[in-house]
Amino acid sequence: MNNNTKKVTPINKPLKGNFKVPSDKSISHRAAMFASLVHEPVLISNFSLGSDCLSTLSVLEALGVKIEFQSKNSLIINNKEGFKEPKNILDAGNSGTTIRLMTGILAGHDFYCVLTGDESLRKRPMARVISPLKEMGANIWARDNDTKAPVSIKGRKLQGINYNSPVASAQVKSSILLAGLHSEGITTVKEPVKSRDHTERMLEYLNANIMEQGTKVTIGASELVSKPITIPGDISSAAFFLVAGAIIADSEIIIQDVGLNPTRTGIIDVLKQMGAEIEILNQRVDCNEEIGDIKVNYSNLKAITIDSEIIPRIIDEIPIIAVAATQAEGTTIIKGAEELRHKESDRIKAVYTELKKLGAEIEEQPDGLIIHGKTKLKGGCTLETYHDHRIAMSAYIAGLIADSPIEINEFHWVNISFPEFTGILDKLSF
């Protein structure tokens, strides 16, 4: 067994307890980036310490931003003097949000820089942000005919754009809106289906000139103001426990202070539709984001059909929904999810390959998966993680309900968003 191989022993007890998940990754990235656009210090509390958000902090530091930790998860971002030309290449690591949003921000700043990332990030599509940014007048070049990182930028004044995005992608939408924040005129982005709207909500909270109307968002040049930002727990991390609680016999867990932005709560709708017993407690609003506690009890699940309308609201949860579907009575169909092929890994292929090894009755489709349940998963195999934290955690939950132990190679990818993942599981099943 190499250092990164994790053994998972099937669980023979229910999960019980109250706990918190790490801070929302999407909102943490935005908090750090947007705070750097304010000309006064900004206090951020409950920042995510997963390595993706640390990549954002190190990119900002290389651009001259001062970052001072006050305690483990709270920090002050100070960019009073504005970004400076970085002396070296900026490394976004494994993080699509870092590279795509920073490309939009840096396109409008008057200096030269290069953004790159790890092997997985350098395979992911960049043309989806580069081409609209070029339409705004940006000077951007990228590998493989302007489609892949490394991306080099010579920042300049941009022009607003009216952009009809072919994909429902919060990273694309945010990249253009952030460029629009420093452009002449108005920028409008329209999506085929609304993607997560953390950018819009946080920019509005910081007094930007921004308006959301259904699937359309409009922004004009704005001066952001300093306000404290508190980050809620990440519903995409909570999702692994929502499914574990629903499929491990007699479990009852409460996950506290989770972000419940309606553009992210598709996992709750899907699990409820599958018959899971889920309740929301203490719902409230903080820093323009809904937040609350989620209670889940073990339930008998039934298969459902999931199609394109809801996909953007469950885009990061489909691997763990597929694990739930192996335990649901009937045939679950997931379609309209081709975007999954462009994530940290090709998640359609990864989920199909790994669940198949566990004996799941699963079919791969160009735009999704078909899963016939309910199947007792079998252990005795070694699963792969494909440089993908969500595949690692989905594999782990599947291992908990297999009939014998499994091993997971390169499990360290979990640290991208959830370093405390196995520690929490151990406490809940103690």
Strand 328-334 and strand 368-373: pairing? antiparallel
- Is the bond preceding 405 in cis, omega lying within 30 degrees of 0? no
191-208 in b/e form (b: 16+ CB < 10 A) is: beebbbbbbbbbbbbbeb
Alpha-carbon distance of 45 to 54, in angstroms, equals 15
- Write down the least CB distance from residue 321 to ligand S3P, Å: 14
- Write down the least CB distance from residue 315 to ligand S3P, Å: 5
Rg (CA), the chain: 21
- Write down the least CB distance from residue 291 to ligand S3P, Å: 17
Nearer Cβ to ligand S3P (301/306)? 306
91 tagged catalytic: no
Tell me the one-letter amino acid at 335. K
- Write down the least CB distance from residue 312 to ligand S3P, Å: 6
Nearer Cβ to ligand S3P (6/173)? 173
Where along the sequence are the contacts to ligand S3P (CB under 6 A)?
26, 29, 97, 169-172, 174, 195-196, 315-316, 339
Q: Shortest CA distance to 428 belongs to which of 233, 245, 269?
A: 245
Nearer Cβ to ligand S3P (26/120)? 26
- Write down the least CB distance from residue 311 to ligand S3P, Å: 9
- Write down the least CB distance from residue 282 to ligand S3P, Å: 25
Q: Which two tokens stand for residue 212?
A: 């959301």
Nearer Cβ to ligand S3P (241/298)? 241
Alpha-carbon distance of 134 to 141, in angstroms, equals 10
Nearer Cβ to ligand S3P (174/230)? 174
Tell me the one-letter amino acid at 304. I
DSSP 8-state symbol, 324: H
Alpha-carbon distance of 333 to 310, in angstroms, equals 13
Nearer Cβ to ligand S3P (169/187)? 169
Nearer Cβ to ligand S3P (48/78)? 48
Check 269, 316, 388, 426 and give the catalytic one.
316
352-389 in b/e form (b: 16+ CB < 10 A) is: bbbbebbbbebeeeebbbbbbbbbebebebebbbbbbb
Q: Shortest CA distance to 268 belongs to which of 248, 288, 296?
A: 296
- Write down the least CB distance from residue 382 to ligand S3P, Å: 26
- Which residues fall within 8 angstroms of residue 235, CB to CB, at 6 or more apart? 24, 258, 259, 260, 261, 264, 265, 267
Q: Shortest CA distance to 394 belongs to which of 232, 242, 213?
A: 242
Instruction: Please give the positions annotated as active site.
Output: 316
